[in-house]
Structure 1
Amino acid sequence: MNLAALLDHTLLRPDCTEAQVVQLCQEARIHGFASACVPPCYVPLAARELSGASVAVCTVIGFPLGYNSPRVKFREAEIALAEGATELDVVLNISALKSGQYDAVRAEIEDLTDLAEVRDALLKVIIETALLTEEEMEAAARLCAEAGAHFVKTSTGFASRGASVADVELLRRVLPPHIRIKASGGIRTRAQALALLAAGADRLGTSNSLIILQEDDATPS
């Protein structure tokens, strides 16, 4: 297994620096990570640093709370794509979901998916599983599928917990096979990474990518 190719190498701390983003992109290029996930303000920098590389430029939209106006999210996505992002991790409007506003949630995801596809980009919808009941997770997953999202992502990393094997297993049961799953938040070890992949995750988001790869290298074949 090429584990690096399944990892989104991530730096979304509010106190991150430009130099740290450059380092993240350099590491992503060297190790062949799936993407470098950076704050929206650093998308142009990441696009320059990763020019010519197979690594995608990923950023976040409506992050980390998700209850921005749909028009704000759409414009934020437009800007990110114009500046070089090729993957968008968008936070679901969790408040709207919990309020039963399913049509509004679906419409927002549909609009963002259509925008991403016009630009040949991927849309991942962060549903923040730590804040949802199992029934709400199922509803969120179904809405994402109906709206055509490319991935459902478990977590922002800013809630009380991140991804769990149980979350991923639930999503895999509910989602059609063509909708992929990104597990993120609190993934610190190779054992965690492999367990989430075995549960059905297709991509992992982590700021501990190098540690996970080092563990992989140190494990006898």
Structure 2
Amino acid sequence: MNQEIMKYVDHTLLSQTATWEEIREILEDAMKYGAASACIPAAYVKQAAQYAGQKLPVCTVIGFPNGYSTTEVKVFEARDAIEKGASEIDMVVNVGFLKDRRYKEVEDEIRAVKEACGDRILKVIIETCLLTEEEKIKMCEIVTRAGADYIKTSTGFSAAGATFADVELMKRHVGKGVKVKAAGGISSFADAEEFVRLGADRLGTSRLIRLLKAEE
């Protein structure tokens, strides 16, 4: 079952101190254990894409971790990452705009980034730990209308990460064709299995592969 779970995992390293040696290890481990992708800082995308070739999708983050870059900056970041070989983009929404009820601007921004992504996968990070239930539901509607591929719980850099309740809520309220990614604080295979059971299609974590390696 553990190996089956790995197909859902975006094996992730986004720390400020990440070195190429550490990124390379993330790529090698993601390939070895059959992860869905490796999620890494944008500065390493070109090198990582060349290193992994066609063996592994490379994912990166946009407007990360605070989400308050301008739309133009996020669009540029997305285009730049894709030109350098990224297959998947995880963008952070402007949480302040959401709280100001500037819903059209939030939606237009997601749509603009999705347009920049073309046929590449776009995941939209809404940072659930900062939102009310009403705001989470609203973001499910906005992400659906904007045409993104996934809604994602968390950056892993804020007050808390994914919860079972949030994944359940998001799965219930997203529209047809929008998938759910749980990220932040997923530290056991039991938790990972429960997130998948509740409807998560991807899991952002680095700990599961570390657990597999510890067992070898």
Q: TM-score, normalised by structure 2?
A: 0.95
1:208-219 equivalent positions in 2, closer than 5 A: 208-213=207-212
Contact 2:189 2:208 in 1 (8 A): no
1:50 aligns with 2:52: yes
1:181-220 equivalent positions in 2, closer than 5 A: 181-213=180-212
Structure 1 segments of 4+ aligned residues over 3 angstroms from their partners: 211-215
What SS does structure 1 have at the residue aligned with 2:90?
strand
> Quick one: structure 1 residues 180 and 213, their matched pair in 2 at CA, closer, same or farther if it must change by over 3 Å?
farther
Matched AA of 1:154: T
CA distance in structure 1 between the aligned counterparts of 2:108 and 2:175, rounded to whole angstroms:
19
1:128 aligns with 2:127: yes
Contact 2:167 2:198 in 1 (8 A): yes
Report what 2:84 is aligned to. Answer: 83
What SS does structure 2 have at the residue aligned with 1:138?
helix
Report what 1:99 is aligned to. Answer: 100
> Quick one: structure 1 residues 177 and 214, their matched pair in 2 at CA, closer, same or farther if it must change by over 3 Å?
farther
**Cα deviation, residue 134, structure 1:** 0.3
**Cα deviation, residue 180, structure 1:** 0.3
Matched AA of 2:77: E
What SS does structure 2 have at the residue aligned with 1:195?
helix
Matched AA of 1:195: E
Q: Tell me, which stretches of 5 or more residues in structure 2 are unaligned?
A: none
Among 4, 18, 21, which residue is 1:19 paired with? 21
What SS does structure 1 have at the residue aligned with 2:148?
coil
CA distance in structure 2 between the aligned counterparts of 1:80 and 1:128, rounded to whole angstroms:
22
Contact 1:39 1:60 in 2 (8 A): yes
What SS does structure 2 have at the residue aligned with 1:176?
coil
**Cα deviation, residue 52, structure 1:** 2.5
**Cα deviation, residue 212, structure 1:** 4.7
1:4 aligns with 2:3: no
**Cα deviation, residue 211, structure 1:** 3.4
Q: Tell me, which stretches of 5 or more residues in structure 1 are unaligned?
A: none
Report what 2:74 is aligned to. Answer: 73
CA distance in structure 2 between the aligned counterparts of 1:176 and 1:61, rounded to whole angstroms:
23
Report what 1:39 is aligned to. Answer: 41
CA distance in structure 2 between the aligned counterparts of 1:211 and 1:18, rounded to whole angstroms:
18
Contact 2:11 2:30 in 1 (8 A): yes
Output the aligned Cα RMSD: 1.4
Count of aligned residue pairs for this structure pair: 214
Matched AA of 1:66: G
Contact 1:190 1:213 in 2 (8 A): no
Identity %: 43
Report what 2:177 is aligned to. Answer: 178
CA distance in structure 1 between the aligned counterparts of 2:14 and 2:204, rounded to whole angstroms:
11
